[in-house]
Amino acid sequence: MSSPTSRPARKAVIPVAGMGTRFLPATKAVPKELLPVVDRPALQYIVEEAARAGLPEVLMVTGRGKSAIEDFFDRVPELETALEKKGDADRLASVHESTEVAQVHFVRQGEARGLGHAVLQASAFVGDEPFAVLLGDDLIDARDHLLEHMLAVQAQHGGSVIALLDVGRENIDKYGAVAVEPGTQTALEGDEVVTVTGLVEKPPVDEAPSSLAIIGRYVLSPAVFDVLRETSPGRGGEIQLTDALATLVERGEPVHGVVFSGRRYDTGDRLDYLKAVIRLASERDDLGPPLRAWLHDFVADLPAEGASSS
Ligand code: UTP
């Protein structure tokens, strides 16, 4: 069992081998993790988040049809020379950003057999230390500090830490759901810390233990690898990380939850993707003012639809 005195997490694993069926046909040829959120791939925001949190060693778990991801994090000397000749320093810097932000390694999953199976491919890279997992299509706003909070909880309490979001009971059947001990422990900038007592993947709404959903950030004990090796395919015929975490809880390994109170976008979901692009673009200094002015007029002309403001 990990103890609070074990070495803090230093490595990040980003699984990007999924098929992205919710975003077809775009994802037939383009990995969903490379779809641009304004002018940068979703995945670049995620690598930057890992680096900001003090995890500059990143392993991406890729698969067939995802080689564009390796190209994106590689140098492109001819492009750099062309930009240098033009004296386009800003664009040159933006091209360098993707290669300089972190040390990125790759391993192949072979077959998309589920998130648990993807994480298992990272065992040799991770070794015997706690590590972070960031899902390649789950974007956390850079102004919120979810991963930092999770790393702090892991360093203090040991075990594993998962990110949770209250999605409302009516939506919980699309997520992994958790049971938690009543009463919260501490709050970190509005994010509460809870003790997880059970996990279940995509439960029917009337059987869900709570409305708290697992979202795409984890800080895991290396003990999860042994459990994953023994985990049979579960929901959807996939090896589920949620099932392995449920086994850890049953074995008495501590699993904590950080209930996120900030901004999160599932860029693998078309509607959430559109919200991410509009929100982040409208807040930027360069694109924000003309976009906000256009949005204002556009929205004023729209018929009311009774939509939520989230
Ligand atoms: P998702 O369930 O969102 O990915 O997995 P998916 O299967 O690609 O999506 P849809 O539902 O078909 O649209 C979350 C993350 O885990 C990765 C995905 O790439 C995504 O970043 N993943 C999923 C893997 O790396 N391998 C898998 O076998 C499954």
Name, in order, each residue with C-beta under 8 angstroms of 303's C-beta and a sequence gap of 6 or more.
Answer: none
The CATH number assigned to the domain holding 97 equals 3.90.550.10
Residue 92: inside a domain, yes or no? yes
pLDDT at residue 190, rounded to an integer: 78
Residue 275: inside a domain, yes or no? no
pLDDT at residue 6, rounded to an integer: 62
Residue 39: inside a domain, yes or no? yes
Least confident of 9-13, 97-101, 207-211, 269-273: 97-101
CA of 218 to the centre of ligand 1 (A): 15
Cβ(215) to ligand 1 under 6 A?
no
Q: Distance between CA atoms of 168 and 148, rounded to whole angstroms?
A: 25
Residue 244: inside a domain, yes or no? yes
Residue 183: inside a domain, yes or no? yes
pLDDT at residue 38, rounded to an integer: 96
Cβ(22) to ligand 1 under 6 A?
yes
Cβ(109) to ligand 1 under 6 A?
yes
Instruction: Report pTM.
Output: 0.92
| Minimum CA distance residue for ligand 1 atom 7 | 18
Tell me the mean pLDDT in the region 75-83: 74
CA of 134 to the centre of ligand 1 (A): 12
Cβ(151) to ligand 1 under 6 A?
no
CA of 116 to the centre of ligand 1 (A): 10
Domain range for 179 is 11-268
Q: For the chain, how many structural domains are there in total?
A: 1
Cβ(137) to ligand 1 under 6 A?
yes
